[in-house]
Each structure stands twice: as C-alpha cells, then as structure tokens.
Chains A and B, each alone.
Chain A
C-alpha cells in the first residue's frame, strides 16, 4: 500500500486527514487525480492554481524531492511513501 502523508499546514485541504494508505500504482499526476476525487473541491482549490500544483508545495517520494526525480511523472507503487510539505526552508 502507498502511504500518503500531509504536513499539518495542509490539513485544511484534506478535511483534517494527515495520513492515508492507498492501493495505488501510477505517477504523481495520477496520484493527485486520486486525491482530488477523495477530497473534492476544497483540495482542488487549495492544491492547484489554474490546474497546476501550487508553487509553494513540495512533493517527496521516499524522502526525495520529485523535482530531482521525474517530476510529476515519478512513479509511485508498492510501499512508497509520498509526502506533501509546504515549501518552508532555510533561515
């Protein structure tokens, strides 16, 4: 099962859900589609701007930023862990 984790700062978009497990295999875009279906309009409005994932959101697969992998084409399957964090780093 793929584990999906949301930072606390993102909870308003997921109805308060922080973690879930999904029987899923596909890329990040497909995963985002599944999450859109699960959480509905609030998720859509907060995670996306004009259909594109917001720039202040970072996505990690097994601890690695997907921008250093295949971006939204990065494949997720098996026991992968996908983490969504607000882009907050540095002093």
Chain B
C-alpha cells in the first residue's frame, strides 16, 4: 500500500467556481452549489504511472494520490474496490451485442459500491477528529457506513425511511449502528439528517462530508479504464438516484485522461432511473435544464428512490455533453432486467442493476445503442438485500415427497 499524503488542495464550487480550503463544508457559501475536491494534477502526473500502479495492491487505495484522505493505517478499513469487470458473453450473445461488461460492485464488503465513498467519508471524519459518523440512506449506504464505522471504531447513526424493508437494514444493526426510521420518504430522512449534522457536529457522510465522500465512487471510473487495458468503453450505463455516482464516474474518466494515463475518452455516459422516480430522466426527455422533484417515489428500485436529486443538474449536463441518454424503465422491465442478468451471467443484482440492463435492452431496441458498441453496465449492488421485490409466481419453489419419482414428475420427465 502506498505511503502517501493526499494530493488534494482545495474545494471548488462546481457552480460558481469559488474556492475554499480543504475542510468540512456542505456547500458553497456564495451560491450554495455543490463542491468538489480539486487535486494538483501536475504533481500527480509526476508520480502516478502505469508502472507504479502495476506494483500496487488490488483495492482502491492504489489510487491514493487521487483520493482526498491519507491512506488509513492497516486494519482501519475494509479495503473496498477493484471489483471484477466481467465480460458478459452470454448476455451479449442473447442481445446480439458485440461486447458488454458488468462492473460487478456486488462483491464489495457490504455488497454495494457504497463501500467506496463510505470508506473515504469515515476516514475523513476520523482525520478531522469528529466524534461520530452517519448518513441518510435508502439501505446500501447505511450498511456501508455502519461497517466502515465499525472497522474504524467510530459510533454511527443512520437515518432511513421508516418503511424500508427490514432485510435491507438489519445488517446495519448487526454492524452496531444506531438506526432511526424517519416517517416519510428518503427526502424526509435526509432533511432530518441535515439538522442532526448541524446540531451534533457528526460527520454525516452524504451531507457535510459529501464533497470528499463522493470521491470514493470515482475510483469505479479509474478501474474500468485500467481493466479494459487503458482504453475507454464506447458507452457506460449507470443507475441514477441523486446523480452523484454518474458525476463521480465521469470525474474518474476525466482525471485519468488529464493524467495522460488514457487517451481519447469519448465514452457516452448514460443514466437509468426507474419510471416511478425519474426526475433526471424526465428533465432529459423534456429538454429542460431544471429538475422537478418527485414528492412520492414509487418503485421497487428503492436505492434510486430519491425524489430531489442533489447532483441531478450536473448529471444532466454530463449526459448531454457526452451524448449519452437518460432512460426510465418500468418496474416490470427492471425485474426482467434483474432476471436476465442473473440467468445469463450469474450476477444477482439489486433492482438498480436491473434498471441498467432494462435500459440496455430498450436502447438497443430503439437503435440509440449500436450492437457493435462496447458497453459497460454498472451493477451497483447485490440482489440479496432486496429479495422481497423479487418474489413472484415463477420464484415459487415446488415441494414434493422425498422420492425420485416425485422429482421426475415435477421435472416433467415421467
């Protein structure tokens, strides 16, 4: 593991360009726009080479110069990242698509990509000496934050919509976090978490640690480029909740291009959002620059049920700039997408993963994606936490007497 200080220098407002010293800060003081960490890329270019990366451990700390925290001491984090980029030959054959890959984030320590930003957010909070960490979450971040906090020996407080399925949130309890169910939607939980962050001074990862926290997710972009042999894919399809993940992946691709580690990044970055909560996709379809929030999201893709997406405007900008698309499949199409990926590639994704598969199908059908393209699907988390949404007629398991003939009968071979 590299022994390096972070190369981050300042926080910069993505909206008005105002700069601030690297410290705890939720938003720009001048216009309240989102902040991002800016690195001294000239200095990084001198040190971070392909040769050096070839000698480093296979987790996301291999990109330490482009992460906004010092590398944690051994045993303080769960070492997320460097997940497989799986070539999906069966899926590709079924769809007549030349090349399709799944970036398989289901194999992270708590089974979703959120382990990446949670690691950064918890380590940053620890560096600042904050007394506790936490988050507002629809489930995945809750688990990731709680596990990262347990490993770093920090108290953790998690705010979730009260109606979240128990199966999704019970692991958070197992990791020792204090979980509080807020009556209402995710956006209500998020509003309360904002007030908690102010009142107690805790590090609420996706609120007052947000500019740093989101940096963890951009490592997905680094890994895709490295795993494709330092080449950029033609297209990548990313689930859209707040839009932060899409923005982060774009930042990863852009930073590696700036460092000359890869050339010609012309990747079309697209987003997929469930039809039951699609404020970003709706703005895209309407040609709007503004996002109209959704008051009551209704979708099986709970991890994407964010009615007021904080990074929506930025995500829209990136999608349009890279000539991608924003799509909104129905819940049935999402379920079908989950099934197709599981049956063809052995990857059981959460509904968010089904969402990108559904959009792949829809856009191949409409001709917006070419069957000769090379496409990467971002599979953000495991379906094991959301089996409740998967139960239907064809998941019913037959029960038969303990005889060979009974098995033959149910298999229809008698």
Contact = CB atoms under 8 A, between A and B. Distances in A.
A87 B140 contact: no
A55 interface: yes
Given A9-B26, A56-B15, A83-B191, A89 B242 contact: yes
B30 A60 contact: no
B45 to A, nearest CB: 30
Interface string A48-91: 01000011111010010101100000000000000101111111
A91 B295 contact: no
B281 interface: no
Nearest to A58: B308
A59 to B, nearest CB: 11
Nearest to B201: A8
Contacts of B81: none
A61 B309 CA distance: 20
Given A7-B194, A7-B198, A60-B191, A91 B242 contact: yes
Contact of A91 (B140, B184, B313): B140
A29 B140 CA distance: 38
B34 interface: yes
How many residues of A sit at the interface, in one of the four size bands? 20 to 34
Nearest to A45: B30
A49 B16 CA distance: 12
Nearest to A8: B198
A90 B243 contact: yes
B311 interface: yes
Contact of B310 (A46, A49, A89): A89
B32 interface: yes
Secondary structure of the A contact surface, majority rule: mixed
Nearest to B311: A90
Nearest to B193: A89
B247 to A, nearest CB: 11
Contacts of A22: none
A12 interface: yes
B86 interface: no
A68 B242 contact: no
Contact of A90 (B15, B208, B244, B313): B244
B117 interface: yes
B136 interface: yes
Contacts of A49: 31
Interface string B286-325: 0000101101000000000010111101000000000000
Nearest to B292: A67
Given A8-B198, A9-B25, A91 B206 contact: yes
Nearest to B243: A90
Contacts of A67: 292-293
A10 interface: yes
A55 B27 contact: no
Interface of A: 5, 7-10, 12-13, 18, 45-46, 49, 54-58, 60, 63, 65, 67-68, 83, 85-91
5 contacts: A45-B30, A56-B32, A65-B308, A91-B140, A91-B206
